[in-house]
Amino acid sequence: MREPVIGIDLGTTNSAVASVEEGRPRVIPSRAGGRLTPSVVGLTPKTGERVVGGKAQALAEEHPECVVWATKRFIGRRFTPELLQAAKAVVPYQLVGGNTGDVRVKMAGRTVPVTQVSAMILGELKLDAEAHFGRPVNKCVITVPANFDDGQRQATREAATIAGLDAIRLINEPTAAALAYGLSRGFQGHALVFDLGGGTFDVTVLEITDGVYEVKATGGDPALGGEDFDLKIVEWLLAQVEDSHRELVHRDAVSMRKLKVAAEQAKRELTEYEETLISLAGLGDHTQGGWKLTGLETALTRDFFEQLIAPLSKRCLDVCASVMQEARMDPRSVDTVLLVGGMTRVPLIRRLVADFFGKAPSTDVNPDEAVALGAAIHADELARQSGAALLLDVVGNSLSVGVLGGRVRRLINKNSSVPVVAKELFYPGSHGQTEARISIYQGESDLQDENRKLGEVVLRNLQGTSRTDTPLEVTFELSNEGILSVRAADLKTGLSEAVRLEARPHLPGQEAERLVKEQAAYAQKQAREDAQKTEDKFRKLLERGDKLAKLLQQSAKENPGEQAEAAVTNVQSLLDSGRAALESGDAEQCAQVARQLNQLLSGR
């Protein structure tokens, strides 16, 4: 049997893992029983034991200082005062810088690299997949936001390596969603993917024809997502706290966590109802043993919520307008609009999208699962090398070289098709210069300070006496995954140097190796515990299967026929196979029988 290959949506708020089974993409349920895993990680206060997902959310109720979430916003970013200031408005936990400039979080008194936090989430999804298949799972496709830069993509790969996964491809989230939609619905034409997730917003226009997915334009806002919409409710709730307690509540981590959870719950309820009641107790300074605690009772209507989030909603439409302009298309010429991300369930968002594009958006695909399903489809395509779908993606952001005067010269324009190679000649800034530092920038501005610096290529031992005697050829090569390689060469001497992204944060080699070993030890321990739980669940499943077999036998007696007899034979065969696998300790066979029995029992 071919080795399982999985698709992973590593999300800001929730993550999911999926696979293609019997020709159909399916979300793999977590070992905890859900279809989504909250992207929340914690360390228990006394033992430092890691908890991920729902367990981490539960830990946050009593020990918010031991839990972090929405760390995807910081992965692959360089720690700067500006980033720190922006983070304070979104998350309560502390960010610190690592030795190489990477971002780290304070959690339960420990300093943990953001890359490791992502690795913990990926490791949990890997364990879910292995429990599902009853065998090791190593290869995967991971989705990333379309506007992720080289550093963020490389950091995602680094997290996968720490988690023991071989990321055979990174694929943009909107493209993955369109892949799931296109293959499952047989769609042809222009599709727009409106992807409003927990932390980022992406818009992508694709032309889908006979299995070819060609991206026409893509854009987004890396600092706009469900977390920001929640924050609007939190700010409103905080303003209603009594004046004498407001500052205490604002400084208290437990209280702010209560407001955050209440805001998320209110947002969900307003998707279905016109009004929601919010009742909170125990707000105040918990560091003083519950001294001076207060409560809050209020109601939030859908109309007022929509007023609160109107500025954020307008930012979504501004991005849509920009992307349509870059695609040189009228919004109403889009054939279908696909909603992705939990925030797209908000009625205001759906109304605005419908008004802007002149048609109701598609709701056929679960917005929380579409990205993972698309990743699974692409993973299956790569594993089988079937060529059923061809992805033609584009550059999410322009790539440039810094030049004199604080400006940049663009080598690769935004929305250029990938893979792409671009070359251009440059000259040293002064005569007799022996070293050239060629800075690489990402962004749409003509000014260096308004773009993001990705790194540098350093050429030493230049020998020309005049600037014009030293032509330097700079080559940008961008892969179809958005990974950037840069090379600079002195054409006079033949001296060349590959990119050294000194500005790109990364984990030191020894620390990365230690984290890999730490993750492997955790996975082995967890797998042993899971094996016993899985066996117990499987025995109970066989008992349910026995009941189903008896019901089918009774039905076959009352209504005899070939179909009824075949149903009895099928279930009995599965039960016999399951008991034999249990007796021989064949975990993979047990998992296969479990999947088939669950489908029968659920009527799918």
Q: What is the DSSP string of 371-391?
A: HHHHHHHHHHHHHHT--S-EE
Domain stops at, among 438, 468, 498: 498
Residue of 178, 293, 300, 164 whose CA lies nearest to 232: 300
What is the distance between the terminal CA atoms of the chain, rounded to a whole angstrom? Answer: 24
pLDDT value, residue 581: 83
Identify whether the C-beta of residue 10 lies closer than 8 Å to the C-beta of residue 72.
Answer: yes
- What is the mean predicted confidence (pLDDT) over 486-514? 76
Same domain, 40 and 96: yes
- What is the mean predicted confidence (pLDDT) over 97-105? 91
| Cα–Cα distance for residue pair 457/440, rounded to 1 Å | 8
Residue of 505, 440, 418 whose CA lies nearest to 146: 418
List the domain range (segments joined by +) for residue 484: 399-498
Same domain, 490 and 567: no
Same domain, 537 and 427: no
Same domain, 427 and 490: yes
Which tens digit of pLDDT belongs to each residue from 311-355?
999 999 999 999 999 999 999 999 999 999 989 999 999 999 999
Share of the chain above pLDDT 70, in %: 96
pLDDT value, residue 388: 60
Strand, coil or helix: what is 499? coil
| Cα–Cα distance for residue pair 500/121, rounded to 1 Å | 29
Same domain, 163 and 27: yes
| Position with higher pLDDT, 307 vs 180 | 307
Share of the chain above pLDDT 90, in %: 49
Say if residue 387's pLDDT is above 80. Answer: no
Q: What are phi and psi of 181, to 5 degrees?
A: -70, -45
Identify whether the C-beta of residue 333 lies closer than 8 Å to the C-beta of residue 259.
Answer: no
Identify whether the C-beta of residue 125 lies closer than 8 Å to the C-beta of residue 137.
Answer: no
Question: Which one of the listed residues 102, 130, 150, 195 is annotated catalytic?
Answer: 195
Distances (CA, A) of 100 to 103, 120, 362, 501: 9, 21, 44, 11
Same domain, 165 and 284: no
pLDDT value, residue 151: 83
Q: In angstroms, how far is CA 390 from the centroid of its own chain?
A: 22
Flag whether 433 is in a domain: yes
**318 counts as catalytic:** no
pLDDT value, residue 493: 80
Flag whether 331 is in a domain: no
**546 counts as catalytic:** no
**149 counts as catalytic:** no
Flag whether 512 is in a domain: no
Identify whether the C-beta of residue 411 lies closer than 8 Å to the C-beta of residue 422.
Answer: yes
Say if residue 503's pLDDT is above 50. Answer: no
Residue in the block written with tokens 């117990």: 536
pLDDT value, residue 183: 57
Q: What is the DSSP string of 404-442?
A: TTTEEEEEE-TT-BSSEEEEEEE--SSTT--EEEEEEEE
Flag whether 15 is in a domain: yes
Question: Which one of the listed residues 102, 128, 173, 393 is annotated catalytic?
Answer: 173
Give the CA radius of gyration of the chain. Answer: 27
Residue of 529, 454, 519, 514 whose CA lies nearest to 117: 519
Identify whether the C-beta of residue 141 lies closer than 8 Å to the C-beta of residue 128.
Answer: no
pLDDT value, residue 505: 62
pLDDT value, residue 532: 80
Residue 544 DSSP one-character state: H
Q: What are phi and psi of 347, to 5 degrees?
A: -55, -40
Same domain, 289 and 378: no
Q: Which two tokens stand for residue 42?
A: 């914690």
Residue 164 DSSP one-character state: T
User: Which range among 213-222, 363-372, 425-434 shows the weakest confidence by mean pLDDT?
Assistant: 425-434
Identify whether the C-beta of residue 232 lies closer than 8 Å to the C-beta of residue 308.
Answer: yes
Domain stops at, among 448, 465, 498: 498
Q: Which two tokens stand for residue 8?
A: 């992973």
Beta strands in 443-516 (DSSP E): 452-460, 472-478, 484-490, 496-498
**477 counts as catalytic:** no
Domain stops at, among 352, 386, 420: 386
Q: Which two tokens stand for residue 68?
A: 């972090």
Other CB atoms within a 10 A radius of the CB of residue 96 amount to 13
Residue of 211, 187, 191 whose CA lies nearest to 203: 191
Flag whether 268 is in a domain: yes
Angle of helix 54-62 versus helix 253-272 axis, rounded to 10: 130
3-state SS of 229-262? HHHHHHHHHHHHCCHHHHHHHHHCHHHHHHHHHH
Other CB atoms within a 10 A radius of the CB of residue 285 amount to 18
Which tens digit of pLDDT belongs to each residue from 112-146?
999 999 999 999 999 999 999 999 999 999 999 88
| Cα–Cα distance for residue pair 564/579, rounded to 1 Å | 23
H or E element, residue 522: helix 509-558
- Burial class of residue 582, CB neighbours in 10 A (0-12, 13-18, 19+): middle
Say if residue 604's pLDDT is above 80. Answer: no
Q: Which two tokens stand for residue 170?
A: 């990174």
245 CB-side CA count, 13 A: 21
Indicate which CATH number applies to the domain containing 249. 3.90.640.10
Residue of 112, 109, 68 whose CA lies nearest to 90: 68
pLDDT-derived band at 504 (thresholds 50, 70, 90) equals low
Other CB atoms within a 10 A radius of the CB of residue 521 amount to 10
Flag whether 43 is in a domain: yes
Same domain, 486 and 416: yes
| Position with higher pLDDT, 155 vs 531 | 155
Q: Which two tokens stand for residue 455?
A: 């790194």
Flag whether 336 is in a domain: no
Q: What is the largest CA-CA distance in the chain?
A: 99
- What is the mean predicted confidence (pLDDT) over 489-493? 84
Q: Domain count of the chain?
A: 4
| Cα–Cα distance for residue pair 522/360, rounded to 1 Å | 47
User: Which range among 95-104, 239-248, 332-341, 501-510 shows the weakest confidence by mean pLDDT?
Assistant: 501-510
Same domain, 382 and 304: no
Which tens digit of pLDDT belongs to each residue from 257-277?
999 999 999 999 999 999 999
Question: Which one of the listed residues 72, 258, 267, 414 is annotated catalytic?
Answer: 72
Same domain, 252 and 132: no
Residues 59-84: b if buried by 16+ CB within 10 A, e if exposed: bbeebbbbbbbbbbbbbbbbbeeebe
pLDDT-derived band at 386 (thresholds 50, 70, 90) equals low
Say if residue 223's pLDDT is above 80. Answer: yes
Same domain, 21 and 160: yes
Same domain, 75 and 174: yes
Say if residue 253's pLDDT is above 90. Answer: no
Question: pTM above 0.85?
Answer: no
Question: Which one of the listed residues 9, 124, 380, 481 is annotated catalytic?
Answer: 9
Q: Which two tokens stand for residue 541?
A: 């499943």
Q: Which two tokens stand for residue 266?
A: 């209110």
Identify whether the C-beta of residue 383 lies closer than 8 Å to the C-beta of residue 368.
Answer: no
Beta strands in 443-582 (DSSP E): 452-460, 472-478, 484-490, 496-498
Indicate which CATH number applies to the domain containing 378. 3.30.420.40
Indicate which CATH number applies to the domain containing 407. 2.60.34.10
User: Which range among 51-65, 383-397, 582-596 shows the weakest confidence by mean pLDDT?
Assistant: 383-397
